[in-house]
Structures are given as C-alpha cells and as structure tokens.
A and B are shown apart, each in its own frame.
Chain A
Amino acid sequence: MDLKADAKVPSTPKSRVVVTETPKFDLDSYIANYAGRTRYARLYLIGTSSKVLATEALKAAVAEAKAGNDVQRYMDAVAALRPHLTPGDPDGVIDRSWVERKEKQNKAESSRLEAELKGYKNNLIKESIRMGNEDLGAHYHAIGDLTSATKAYGRMRDYCTTPAHIASTSFRVIEVAIDQNNWLAVQSSVHKIRNIQLKPDDHAKAQPKTQAAMGLSQMHAGDYRDAAISFLNTDPSLGDKYNEVLTSNDVAVYGGLCALASMSREELQAQVLENTTFRNFLELEPHIRRAINFFCAAKYTQCLSILEAYRADYLLDLHLQRHLVKIYGRIRTKSIVQYFAPFSHVTLDSMARTFASQDRSNPAIEDELVPLIAAGTLKAKIDLEHRVLVADEVDLRAEVHREAFESVKRFKKEAHLKLMRMEFLNAGLEIKAPPRQGMGGGGGGFSSIAGDVLAGAGAAGGGDMTGLQQRGQGLAKDSSRGAGLASGGGGGRKR
C-alpha cells in the first residue's frame, strides 16, 4: 500500500549503552509498577539497551504501543524489534491497517476537539475553554505530538481560576516536559506550584509529586546534591500516586545514589540514615541502605561491590542511564579520598585490593590515582619505587613565609607598574596615533594596526624598527648558539 506523504517513518534509536549482564529485576513485575506513557518509554529503553531482555521487552513495548494511540511509537518499537526476530516472524512487520486506522482516528479526534474548543471559545465560558484545552492537550500527549500538547496546556493558563486548576495544569505540563526531557520547564512548573496557596490536603497531595519531579530535573541537570536533598524531603505518602513518572522505589534509589555521590559521611549519617521519612523509602530498597551504611562505616569494598552488583539494573533505568557512570565515578572518587584521609602512607597494593579496578585492561591503581592527584582532589604523591601512596605534608610555617614574600614581590611589581603608567600619563606620553601627514618621517611614532603604517615606518629606512630587528637577530643568533652569553659578555669586557 502506498503511504501518504505525511505518514510517519520509524525513527532509529539513538546510540545507547549496551548492557550485557542480566539484571536482577523481573521485567513483568517491574513494568507493572508503572502506568501511562512511561511504561512504553521504559520498555523501549530496556529493549534497545539490554542484550538479554531485548526481545521480551520490545515485544511488550509493541503491545503497549498498540494499546495506545501513538503511531510513531508503534513503528519505532516494531523497527527495533525486527532485528531480534527471525525474518519470517509476523511480529516484525508493521501492521499497516492498524497504522492507517489509528492515524485516521487520531486526526478525527483532533479535529473534533478543536471544533469543540472553538465552540467553547465562542461561548466565552472560561471553565469549558479550560476543559477543552485540557482534553486537547491530553489527546496530543497521548498521540505523541508533544509540542502541540505543551501549547495546549500553555493556553490553559489564562483560563485557570482556582489554585487547584493552576496546580493541575502545572502537573500536566510537568508530565509532557518529562517526556520531552525539558527539565527547565519541569523546574519552572514546580516553582509555580510551590508559590500558589493550596488547601492543606491539596498541598499534602501535591508535595511528594513536586519534590519527586524537582529531584528528577535536578538530577538530570547534574546537581546531584540538590537532587538528593529533594528526594530526601519527599513525603512517603507518595506511594504509587506518581506512577506515571516514577515509583517510590525509584525515589529511594535516585535519592540514595545522589546522596552517596555528593554528601560527606556526616551528612549521609544525619540526613539519610537517620532520616525518619526517607526510611520508608529505603525499606523498599534495602541494598541502598546497606551500601550507605558500608560507606559510612568506611567499608568501601563492600559498598562498591553492592553498587557494582546493581549496575546492570540501574543502567536500564530510564532516568539513571545517562548519569550512572558519572554518579558511580563520583562515589568511587569519594571513597578513595576518604579511605586515604587518615593515613600518611598506604601501599598501592592494599589500595588496589580495596578498590578493585574497573578497567579490566589496566588493573593498575596508580593510573586511576594520577588524574585525581593532578586535579587536586587527592592530596598525595605516588612513590613508584616503594609502591606507596604518600600523603602531602604541608609545612605551614614555610608556606606562610613563602606566601608573605610572594605578596611583597607582587606588591612591588604592581606598584612599580602603576607608577610607571602614571608617569607616562603625567608626561603626556600616551601612545597616540601618528598625525595624518608626515607619516613616512623616520621615527614616525606609533603605528596603529593598519598595516600600511607599519610598512611605512619600515620603508622609511631610518625606521629604527629595522635597526631593532638587526640587533634582535644578532641576539637571536647568539642565544641559539646556546653557549652562555657569558662568552659574549666576557669578550665585551676587554677594553
């Protein structure tokens, strides 16, 4: 069948991380926790990233997409599934009839809603206009036209009367923005919700969702510390109310990992382990709590091994995939720095045993340490002769003396330069552009950047510039000879 010109084409998946290990979770029960559009997004991610679960996940993704209204998603899922199936498998073929039918349906629905909205606009009833826009936005969101959805929700703003309206509009905007990965919009919507006056129970309902959304956007922006704080302050009443975006387990995991990556031991102890509200979340993911406990107890090997064990799982998480390597890297760096803090000398072997190297090809711990030392995070030096890491000893007294002398020298230099500058000005000796006529005259003062003036000075022959160059050349020849200029100076000393 011929496809119409504006028919959708499957998009190729972006290059993603490939996970070869089997994750610990069970796909069906995992995905059952989620609702809404995030189900497809997660299934698609797992399908395109995991080697083990690819077929299963993508088949589920196809089913999910077919159950919904988003044609593009269906086509993407089938295209991704095809390479995993045997060539003749019917699941690998796009169901064109379904596609056409759905597209017609979607178009019809869009026009119907638009017409309704026009009708409401003519009637000028605020509430119906608002509801009409909301339905339109929801429809566009469902079929995958995210830009129109945002526009529709944006139009709702003018017709919102009560704070509850504003809150619900903002939540809708957040949903679409999360789908679009537009984290700035998420943050601004969250701020909007926080600023309005809600009734106490509405507020209680909104709080966990806003905290979670905020934490998510901060995590994606790379502010792991702020993200951790947001997640830690999420009220446990979240339960499964925000399943369209994330579950309480996710809050536990994201919060725990961000905290580990950004907080010090004391902070972790106080704000995570002793946090009564967050404890509810941590109980859902006991291994995170164990990892944090190990870290605070300075048992770095165990902590890192727990994290390693769950690496595959987290790499398949929709929001963590992009950040996991960075987060794990930070946790590892912090562990190394903290491990070394109480010692003055540590053998490289014991370090290597505690921190098993991640890079299979190069098990040498010192190669991992060198960039840390160079960046100044680890204040130590490597002694390759004795294979020891030596802590920096700072002789404070000598440092103070040295700095004092440095500042005196700097002052003298700056004072001298400023005085000279003032003298130049006082004597009227600022550099001025040469007068228009008489440019060729010998020492014609300065040159502006116009190349002709520079050339003019040189051509004038008397130009001391050429003299300067000859002398400079002599100097250059002499220094390039390398034999100390003492010989030149010594020769010069004869009378």
Chain B
Amino acid sequence: MDDLIPKLLTFPPVPSPAEPLSDYQYDQSIRAISQLLTSAPPGKLGSGLSTGEDVFDILDPSTQSLAYLHILHAHIEAARSASKASPGSLPPAVLFGGRLWPRIVAFVEGFDPVQVRYAGSQFRFVLEVVTRGTQQTGQPLQAVTLLRSAILRLDPTSSTLTSTHHKFVRLCLTCKAFQEALPVLERSIYHLPVSIDKGAAARATRFLCSETESSASYLNPDHGLTLKLSSRDCLEYHLYGGMIYMGLKQWERAMSFLEVVLLAPSTNVTSAIMVEAYKKWVLVGLLLSGRAPSLPKGMNKNMMRNIHALAKPYNCLVEAFTSGRLFRLKGDIEEGQSFWLSDCNFGLVLQVYDAFRKFSVLRLANIYAALPLTEVARRTSPDPSDLVEAASYITRLIVSGELNATLTLPQDTTTPATLRFLPSSSVPRTEADLHYDLTAHKAELEIILKHLQDSDHRLEISKEYIDKLRVMKKQKEQETKAGVSGGQVMSDFDEDVMADL
C-alpha cells in the first residue's frame, strides 16, 4: 500500500499546471492510475499504511476520487469477508455509525464526477451498499439524501435515466419522502441508457473525460455507472415519479409522467404497468381539469382496447363525474369499491369525489355572472339548505385561489349573499410577468431542442442508420440508371425513418 500512495498522489497534478491538461493527456493519466489500482492484488488496497495513518486521511475524495473510490471498495469488501454476518446483510463497519460510514458519506458528497466515470461499477457498488445498509438500519432517509447528491453530482442535468434513479424513486416512495425526491424528478428524463456502439465510439475522438453535450455518453451500461435497464424499470420509474407528484398534489406534472408510460412503444402487448398508469392517469385528469383527459396522440389502438377492457370501472367513474350528477358519482364509487381498493387508488377516488363539488361550482361560472348563494347551494351543495356551510366552502375555494370570485355577505340577514364570478382578465398580468414567463419557456424549449439534437446525432451515427443509408444509396443508383427520378426515393426514405416511431 505504501508504494502506491505516492503514485496515487501524482494525479491530478498539484499545483495545477499552467496549461490545463488536454483531454488526451487527462485520459491517459487517469487510465494509468486506474490500471495501477485494478492490477493491485486484492488484499493490498484493503490493508492499512505502515505509518498507521488512515489511508483515507491522506487521499482527498474530491480530487483523488478515483483512488479513494477503489480503496473504499476494497475496504468494504474486506469488511464483508471478515465479518461473520450473513451474506445478505452488511457488516456493522459499513453501516451508519460504523468506521467506514463517514468515509462513504464524505465520498458521495464530494466526489469528482469526471474521475468517477472511469470506475463506474465500483461507484455503483458503493451506492448499493448505502441503500442496503440504510434499509438494514431502518433509516432509509439517509439513503435518500445520499443517493440524491450522488445523482445530481454525477449529472447535474439528470436527463438520462440510470438504475440509481430507479432505486432512488422507489426508496422515496417507500419512505414517503416526496419533497426530497423533487430535485431529481424536476429534471425530466430525455435519454435512456443504451449500450454504446463500439464502432462509433472508436471513430469518435472523444474521451470519457471530455465535456459532453449529454450525459448519455457516459451513463451507459458499458461503463458501469448504470445497470442495463429493462423496459419495466423505465416504466416503473415514470409510474413511481407520477405517484410521488400525486402525493404532492402536483397533478399536471404527474400527468406528464404517466403519459410517458402510456405512450411507451410495444409490440402489440399491453403491460400491466401501463394499465395501472392509465387508471391513475384518468383519475388525475379528472382532478386536474374536471373533464375526462384526452388521450395523448399516438397511442396504439390495440392497447387502448385492452386497457379499456381492464379499466372499465374507471371509465364509468369518469362518465359519472362528467354527467354532473352527484348521486350517480356516489353510486359508482360505492359499487366499484373493491376495484379501487385492490388497485390502491381509493385515496385518489375520494379526492375525485371532493373535487366534484369544486368543479360543479367552477362550472357555474360558465353560465352565470353572478348568483345568490341559495342558488349555488341548491345546485352544488350536498345539503342545499345549509347556507353557512356553503358560504364557508366557497370562501375556502376563493382563498385557495381556485375560484376567482367575490362573495358578498350583506349586513341584513334577509337579502341573501351573492357570489359574483370575476372574469379571468381581472387578474392583470404585467408586462414583467409575461416577459418572465416567456424567457422561462424559451429556456425550457432550448433544453428540449438540445436533447433532441443530441438524440438525433446519436441515431445518425448508429450502425443501423448507416446501413440503411447504404441500402438507400444503392437503390437510388439503380433507379437513376433505370431513369427514374431520385427525388422519389428520398421522400420514401424520410418516411421510412419516421414510420418506425
């Protein structure tokens, strides 16, 4: 171990060189260190220093992350093999309060993301240990915060889905840490990890350490930072994400997550996860807008049929809601009780029931400009004669901002209170507001476009596309020989690319 330390400390060079290292030089040096660490015999890394100092005190997790990581890995392995604990559980040294725990925390909170790219599987291993360890000690929240910092440090845009994301979201859902999940969930997923095309990578003049447009170039199963994801994992991630937003009552965002699940491509086979997502999506749609949500474009017809067959009680519920009759809604809810309970959607259904009253009041605004409270109560309250309750309900709606109206309660009790709906333009938006919104939208659009371009680029250099181009070119040559105009081929070609989507 002693002989390794000086070598390990040579990288990165201190003080930093006048001219920053080029990607090539960086790549070379890191690979050298990595080679050094991986070729060391197993026990060596796990052993202590002859001076008695703790290895971890010498190495700095933020600048010598690679070395730190490998050594940490070795120590954990050593602790595991040394302890007599059962194979499923972790030794106390690794758990919270153990010797290695503060080292682990220091590493996860301060690692250098670029260096870690070169030791993906070890990194993943450490995160695994963290997750399992906290589950063992029964304090999953620590895992939540640690995983979250790991994810965001590794990829601040968090735009590529990894297995860590999947574990993170699941963990948050089990321990109900919804707010904590937000920083990761806020950043939508735009890429899924794909095994890289060896040929294309060889042609590219990029290194693992170079700055890339998108995290998808280093977050893939080949480099170990993420396990190979199955389609089930991807769908589950979005379903869990949707459920977290449902818990936070952010219906719109929940809808977009659920729609990703609904639009997932399939070979004419419907997934149970999709059916679940549909059921929740329909209920959230009701809660968001008071109307049945319209299906996103591009859904497969066969799947829709299958889903409708399985989700009939939900469709009936939607019809009852939109029919505007409370009795019918109540009856449908009671009848379908076994369904809601077995799908664990009962909470949502109850919220739908409460929302019914809210939406029936809001619907009144479409027809009336003002009406007395007695009329409102007659049309929407469960108990039309209780005006005090109606008044307090409406006040709650106005205060929460969902209803844009004024309720005047006159002094004398003979004249009834009046509810006057204000037109939406009565809340004026200043130029500054609009400008702010516009710039926000613009920034988001730019992000999306960037991701689109990146995916486009990756597709273009993929082997299949190039093969197809070759075939097309041959066909075109043959056809120009035969005298047919080439323009036709090109348009067919374009169509072909899109048709697979």
Enumerate chain A interface residues (CB-CB to B < 8 A): 370, 373-374, 381-386, 388, 390, 393, 395, 398, 401, 405, 408-409, 411-433, 443, 445-449, 454, 457, 464-465, 468-469, 471-480, 484-485, 488-490, 492-495
Contacts and interface: CB of A to CB of B under 8 A. Distances in A.
A414 B270 contact: no
B230 A465 contact: no
Given A433-B267, A476-B345, A401 B434 contact: yes
Given A385-B418, A476-B348, A489-B177, A429 B231 contact: yes
A469 B310 contact: no
A488 B308 CA distance: 34
B366 interface: yes
Interface in B398-422: 418, 420-421
B501 interface: yes
A469 to B, nearest CB: 6
A398 B369 contact: no
A430 B424 CA distance: 44
29 contacts: A373-B367, A381-B367, A383-B368, A383-B369, A383-B370, A416-B190, A417-B259, A417-B263, A418-B501, A423-B191, A426-B455, A426-B458, A427-B193, A429-B264, A430-B266, A430-B267, A431-B264, A432-B266, A432-B269, A433-B269, A445-B231, A446-B271, A449-B270, A454-B272, A472-B344, A476-B348, A489-B179, A489-B180, A495-B145
Given A414-B296, A480-B346, 17 more contacts: A385-B370, A395-B425, A398-B429, A405-B441, A409-B441, A416-B256, A419-B451, A422-B501, A423-B191, A426-B462, A427-B192, A449-B310, A475-B347, A476-B347, A479-B247, A489-B178, A495-B145
Tell me the interface secondary structure of chain A in the complex. Answer: helix
B457 interface: no
Contacts of A413: 256, 259
A480 B270 CA distance: 30
A371 B435 CA distance: 40
Contacts of A419: 190, 448, 451-452, 455
A430 B174 CA distance: 27
A430 B445 contact: no
B282 interface: no
A419 B248 CA distance: 26
Contacts of A427: 192-194, 229
A464 B233 CA distance: 11
Contact of B179 (A395, A416, A469, A493): A493
A405 B421 CA distance: 24
Interface string B329-369: 00000000000000111111011000000000000001111
Contacts of A469: 344
Contacts of A422: 455, 459, 501
B249 interface: yes
A418 B142 CA distance: 36
B415 to A, nearest CB: 10
Contact of A479 (B175, B256, B347): B347
B481 interface: no
B368 A443 contact: no
Nearest to A415: B448
Given A417-B259, A431-B264, A446-B269, A476 B178 contact: no
Interface in B132-152: 141-142, 145
Contacts of B173: 471, 475
B298 interface: yes
B129 interface: no
B98 interface: no
Contacts of A474: 174, 176
Interface in B284-316: 296-298, 306, 309-310
A169 B191 CA distance: 72
B499 to A, nearest CB: 11
Contacts of A423: 190-192, 455
Contacts of B395: none
A485 B247 contact: yes
A431 B265 contact: yes
A485 B175 contact: no
B265 A424 contact: yes
B405 to A, nearest CB: 12
Given A433-B269, A475-B243, A475-B347, A408 B192 contact: no
A420 B234 CA distance: 10
Contact of B194 (A370, A426, A473): A426
B234 A471 contact: no
B119 to A, nearest CB: 24
A421 B180 contact: no
A431 B271 contact: yes
Contacts of A445: 230-232
A440 B174 CA distance: 25
Contacts of B272: 446-447, 454, 457, 465
B189 A432 contact: no
B54 interface: no
Nearest to B259: A417
Q: Which of B368, B423, B424, B500 has the most CB of A within 10 A?
A: B368
Interface in B418-455: 418, 420-421, 423-425, 429, 434, 437, 441, 444-445, 448, 451-452, 455
B54 to A, nearest CB: 25
Contact of A493 (B180, B189, B191): B180
Nearest to A447: B272
B265 A421 contact: yes
B253 to A, nearest CB: 11
Given A384-B371, A395-B425, A423-B455, A449 B345 contact: no
A420 B272 CA distance: 19
B479 to A, nearest CB: 29
